[in-house]
Amino acid sequence: MSLIGAPVDRVDGRLKVTGTAPYSGDVDLPRMAHAVLVLSTVANGRITTMETTDAARMPGVLAVMTHLNAWKLPQGGRAGVNPPAGRVLTLLQDDVVHFNRQPIAVVVAETLDQAEAAAREVKVGYAAEPAILKFAEAKPNAHAPEKANQEPTDSERGHISEDAFAKIEAVYTTPMEHHNPMEPHATVAHWQGEKLTLYDATQYISGCQTTIAKTLGIPKDDVRVVCPYVGGGFGCKGSTWAHVPLAAMAARQVARPVKLVLERPQMFGPVGGRPRTEQHLMLAADPSHRFTGTRHDVFSHTSMIEDFTEPSALQTRMQYDCANVQTSHRLVRLSVGTPTFQRAPGEATGTFALESAIDELAYRLKIDPLELRRRNEPPIDQDKQLPWSSRKVLECYEQGAKAFEWSARNPAPRSMTAGRMQVGLGMASATYPANRSAAAASARLTTDGILVVRSGTQELGTGMYTIMTQLAAQTMGFPLDRVRFELGDSLFPQAPVSGGSQSTASVAPAVQSAVAELRRKLVTLAVGDQASPAFGAPEDQVVIEDGAIGRRGEQRREPAVATLARTGNQSVEAEGAAKPGDEKKQYSMHSFGAVFAEVQVDPELGIIRVPRVVARYDVGRLLNAKTGRSQLLGGIVMGIGMALMEESVLDERYGRIVNANLAEYHVPTNADVGMIDVGVVDDADPYIDALGARGIGEIGITGVAAAIANAVYHATGVRVRDLPITLDKLLV
């Protein structure tokens, strides 16, 4: 039986459920000190006084690092800037404050309690200046970014006529959000002479290595980054934020290892979040219900020190058949921390607007919303004028609608009930680009018969350990328990960021290449070994099954490692690499899906429940049915939070997020999640890579907020265009 696609249990599952998986914050080194950030309390201005004397005298305090005594970095610490992942960081190089909760000091002490107590005693004086915190007031000064996720900022094809048989024009908004993974950001910095080791909670170990080296002005080879496990990231750990170099600077100053773990409120401000968007959307159709014009103009906020673009209009350029399409992206500068990638950046927010508008147009046309989408299925990517590498949207519609029993839906709003509850059924399409980057891997067969495979990728809880173990075992012909996959160390062969849903599509071909080369070397040894069952056989007639080697068609086999014992008892090693070619110049590559949601709304209280979600996805070849399903489930749950709960509330007087804790920043819990039925159209993408597998980390959230919003309208007759959909927006 092929291991590829099988629902293999997580190989790291026991470590996780027993609490023994080593996360960055768990690292404990001899003589390790603890650091705590001091954050600004104004949104714009300068530091006039920094009184640290009392804090420095407190028990256990080793240092209070401020702009007055911090390591002066080359180029003010900006050498590591390499957008979109390399950030403009505030590293105690001057007295300027750009946003509330900006790091302005670091207190280092023997214990965490001592560091926290001393941090509270640091007294800061400011010369505050007016801050720009109101989106509406700043919007007239919006500017165009250079790019929108490496794509042109604006696009236009055809000509949009103002006359249309039917047209929807509406504004949709999404709020600031913050990621809030279970594991907050954490870094342990340890200098050994000129060599720096960072145990960092990161989605990009090699990116962190490069950024830190450039920022501190030291050779890249002098920086090692280690991260065997990440306790969730969702994008916030894809960049290197200020706390990482600050931990390294503090460790150098006190000449001891230093651990710096962000407190939960510190996750709101200095480490990014999803930006607020305001999306103006026009959608027109003719009497045959074909789209004749689409305009999607996006405004999103960024910081005063750096541009970050939420590319919410990208899917509008390609998702449906329409000859006349215009899109634009503009940035609104606010006195806040720089926003960043958050699960499906652009598509999560953009599909809410686009798919809500399609639902509104369907009601205007008096046509089934699913049928309207079917009629506007594009034969090619009209934006890039390329054929699809694979597109199974119609199959997703058909399978999802059947499982959801969409045909039983009464199309009239407020027409369906369950007892006293109003019932609504809504749907939306999902999409996310298929990405891939260069990656490398190594493979080694040890003398005790263990296949060790390494790649400098990351494990975010998505199953990378497991699927790469499966792939290596399948390629080599070894049982799973004789394979060990290792990751999370910048000493290993380089792999890309675990973001953009690209890790599987990037790392899997490299692992396959390395293991295939190792197998070839082992077969060559066996063919030349007179005592081997494979001696003298043509190499294509040598088989390795369940760790045993022999000739095809013959029963005599022996453990593959026996060949090593007779040929010098040395391990065999190989390396492999893979990178994308010109396929994206020849094909448009995306994953797709269809999301169907049922809501029940209390007509008196406005409380919304989501008892049922059905979703079907076209994601290429699924490498593990169990971990793949878990990723899609997680995306849908996060989509429920986006639709109904998540919002970072900005105090427009002071620039601080007022609900910066998990008591008031609401995310779905078990009681909020009903039945979720997830399935895939398991069909390999013939062009993405040799395995036909696309990444699935992000598509699961796309379309969910729109499906729920559309269901809420069907249940109540109230169209909510501003997320999250809270009960006050229904009590009108």
Half-sphere exposure of 714 (CA within 13 A, CB side): 29
Which of these, 489, 571, 558, 572, lies nearest to 530 by C-alpha position?
A: 558
Task: Identify the pLDDT of residue 86.
Answer: 84
C-alpha 488/C-alpha 492 separation (Å) is 8
C-alpha 12/C-alpha 16 separation (Å) is 6
Within 10 A of 572 (CB to CB), how many other CB atoms are there? 22
Q: What is the pLDDT of residues 425-456, one digit of tens each?
A: 999 999 999 999 999 999 999 999 999 999 99
DSSP annotation string for 647-676? ---B-TTT--BTT-STTTS----GGG--EE
* 632 Cβ contact list (under 8 Å, min separation 6): 615, 617, 678, 680, 696, 699, 700
* Banded pLDDT at 239 (limits 50, 70, 90): very high
Q: What are phi and psi of 294, to 5 degrees?
A: -140, 130
Crossing angle of helices 503-527 and 464-476, rounded to 10°: 30
- Is residue 569's pLDDT more than 80? no
Provide the residue type at 120 as one letter: R
Percent of the chain scored above 70 by pLDDT? 100
DSSP annotation string for 17-73? HTT-S--GGG---TT-EEEEEEE-SSSSEEEEEEE-HHHHTSTTEEEEE-TTTS---
Residue 171 structure tokens: 């504004």
Average pLDDT, the chain: 97
Which of these, 20, 200, 232, 50, lies nearest to 124 by C-alpha position?
A: 50
Within 10 A of 220 (CB to CB), how many other CB atoms are there? 12
Residue 655 structure tokens: 């620039």
Task: Identify the pLDDT of residue 1.
Answer: 60
Q: List the catalytic residues.
A: 698
Task: Identify the pLDDT of residue 162.
Answer: 85
Burial of 164 (0-12, 13-18, 19+ CB in 10 A): middle
Once rounded to an integer, what is the mean pLDDT over residues 588-595? 98
C-alpha 271/C-alpha 237 separation (Å) is 8
- Is residue 362's pLDDT more than 90? yes
Once rounded to an integer, what is the mean pLDDT over residues 474-485? 97
* Banded pLDDT at 467 (limits 50, 70, 90): very high
Please indicate, yes or no, whether the overall pTM of this predicted structure exceeds 0.95. Answer: yes
* 68-76 CB contacts, 8 Å cutoff, 24+ apart: 69/253, 70/249, 70/253, 71/216, 71/249, 71/252, 71/253, 73/215, 73/216, 73/217, 73/245, 74/216, 74/217
Once rounded to an integer, what is the mean pLDDT over residues 316-339? 98
How distant is the alpha carbon of residue 451 from its chain centre? 30
Asked if residues 69 and 133 have their Cβ atoms less than 8 Å apart, the reply is: no
- Is residue 573's pLDDT more than 80? yes
- Is residue 732's pLDDT more than 80? no
Once rounded to an integer, what is the mean pLDDT over residues 38-60? 98
C-alpha 265/C-alpha 694 separation (Å) is 35
Percent of the chain scored above 90 by pLDDT? 96
C-alpha 705/C-alpha 695 separation (Å) is 21
* Banded pLDDT at 80 (limits 50, 70, 90): confident
Angle, CA of 267, 270 and 271, to the nearest 5°:
65
C-alpha 527/C-alpha 550 separation (Å) is 9
Which of these, 699, 11, 89, 681, lies nearest to 348 by C-alpha position?
A: 699
| Domains present along the chain, CATH in parentheses | 17-130+182-232+237-267 (3.90.1170.50), 277-435+584-729 (3.30.365.10), 437-579 (3.30.365.10)
DSSP state of 174: E
Q: What is the pLDDT of residues 84-126, one digit of tens each?
A: 678 999 999 999 999 999 999 999 999 999 999 999 999 999 9
Asked if residues 197 and 224 have their Cβ atoms less than 8 Å apart, the reply is: yes
Give the H or E element holding residue 325: strand 325-333
Rounded to the nearest 10°, the torsion over CA 726, 431, 613, 392 is 160
Buried b (16+ CB within 10 A) or exposed e, 64-89: bbbbeebbebeeebbbbbeebbbbbb
Q: What are phi and psi of 172, to 5 degrees?
A: -120, 140
Q: What are phi and psi of 23, to 5 degrees?
A: -95, 165
C-alpha 426/C-alpha 599 separation (Å) is 8
* Banded pLDDT at 76 (limits 50, 70, 90): confident
Number of H-type helices and E-type strands within the chain: 15, 27
Once rounded to an integer, what is the mean pLDDT over residues 263-275? 97
Indicate the pairing of strand 223-226 with strand 195-200.
Answer: parallel
Between 166-170, 173-177, 422-426, 561-565, the lowest mean confidence (pLDDT) is in 561-565
Once rounded to an integer, what is the mean pLDDT over residues 208-228? 97
How distant is the alpha carbon of residue 479 from its chain centre? 31
Task: Identify the pLDDT of residue 83.
Answer: 72
Residue 647 structure tokens: 């919002």
Residue 48 structure tokens: 């006039």
* CA distances, 49 to each of 58, 128, 130, 679 (Å): 20, 12, 19, 59
